[in-house]
Structures are given as C-alpha cells and as structure tokens.
Chains A and B, each alone.
Chain A
Amino acid sequence: SQTIHQWPATLVQPVGSPLSLECTVEGTSNPNLYWYRQAAGRGLQLLFYSVGIGQISSEVPQNLSASRPQDRQFILSSKKLLLSDSGFYLCAWSPMGEDTGELFFGEGSRLTVL
C-alpha cells in the first residue's frame, strides 16, 4: 500500500532563518506531488505541484521554493523565513495521469515563525 510521510511535524523558527520541509511517498511510482498551506483563517492554498523529477510549478508568488530531487521526494524550502510564512503545510500525492480529484495527504507540518 502507498504511504506518505512528511517531517518535521512541528517547527518553530526565527524570522530570517532557512526552512526545509521534506515529504516522501512510498509504494507508488511517478506520483504527482503537491504542497499546500493553510494560514490562519484561510483555506488550504496550493503552493506547488510537480508531475516529475525536476518539474515544479508554482501557483502563487511567495518566499518559498520547492524541489523534487527524486521521484518520490518533495522538498519545500526557504532561504529566509518571514512572519507571514507561519502556517500548516501539507504534502499530498496523486497517481500519475489520474484526474479524479482525490489527493492523498500527509499529516502536515506546523510552522511558527517568531
């Protein structure tokens, strides 16, 4: 069966520090991968998605970047965090080529920037 893991689960970082959140998927090949964020009082917002290694699409301009160095690994990064980067970050995957609207989510990473 397929599983998705993301870490760390909780992170408290000072403004201006770097960020790295990691997500890996097991039990499938060539998945579509996604990073979502939920800021306080807002819905889940799609940040990045990837259909293959090295292929990253950004949905909104921001202080973050994403990379996919391996088929089932998706990394969210920032060189210098802002207060507005605080939120709940969710990684998700879906089978390659499918368009059912069903995404499979990790448990999320809560980031607090102080």
Chain B
Amino acid sequence: GDSVTQMEGPVTLSEEAFLTINCTYTATGYPSLFWYVQYPGEGLQLLLKATKADDKGSNKGFEATYRKETTSFHLEKGSVQVSDSAVYFCALRRGFQKLVFGTGTRLLVSP
C-alpha cells in the first residue's frame, strides 16, 4: 500500500543553519504531496504542497520539490529560525481527502 518514510529525528540545528528533512514515498501513480507542521501546543497545519512531478511547493521560506524519479519530496530551508522549531510531517493523498502521513520529524533550533 501507499506509504511515506521520513528521516528520524530530532534534527538539531543552530539558528541560520541550512535545513533538509528527507521524505520518500511509495505509491501507485503520482499522488499529491504535502508537508504539514505542528508547532508546540497547536494542531497540524499545511505548510506547502505539490500536485504533480517537478512542482515546487514553497511557503515561509521552506521549499520542497516533487521528484518522481527518486520518489522524494525533501523539505529545505536556507536559514532556520528558533521559531521554526516544530514537528514536520510529510504526507501523500491517496484518495478523496485521504492523507497518508509519515512518522514526523522533530526540528529543534537553538539560538
């Protein structure tokens, strides 16, 4: 069945460092891909998405490119801030509003 694999966390970075969180997927066809973020004490919220191969989703300085050749959707940010500390979830859509999520990767950014 469809699945999403994320890198294990926590990822610990200093402020202004470059961030990469890896995400790969297994699916039939070319599903839409998403990154959700959960800040402390809050619910998950959509960060960015890509609906077809080679699309780049971007928001709040974060980017991810849909790579069908490597079945990947890695999340990147050029310079992280303390306020980016959160748990990041990669997901794919496998049917009407049905999302398959990865395990989540916790990011800790120190000043």
Contacts from A to B (Cβ < 8 Å):
4, 32, 34, 36, 38, 41-46, 49, 59, 90, 92, 94, 98-108
Contact = CB atoms under 8 A, between A and B. Distances in A.
Contacts, number: 62
A49 B99 CA distance: 11
Given A43-B4, A44-B91, A46-B99, 9 more contacts: A36-B101, A38-B104, A43-B103, A90-B43, A90-B44, A100-B49, A101-B49, A102-B34, A103-B97
A36 B44 CA distance: 11
Contact of A49 (B36, B38, B89, B97): B97
Interface string B62-103: 000000000000000000000000000101010011111111
A88 B31 CA distance: 26
Contacts of B98: 46, 49, 59
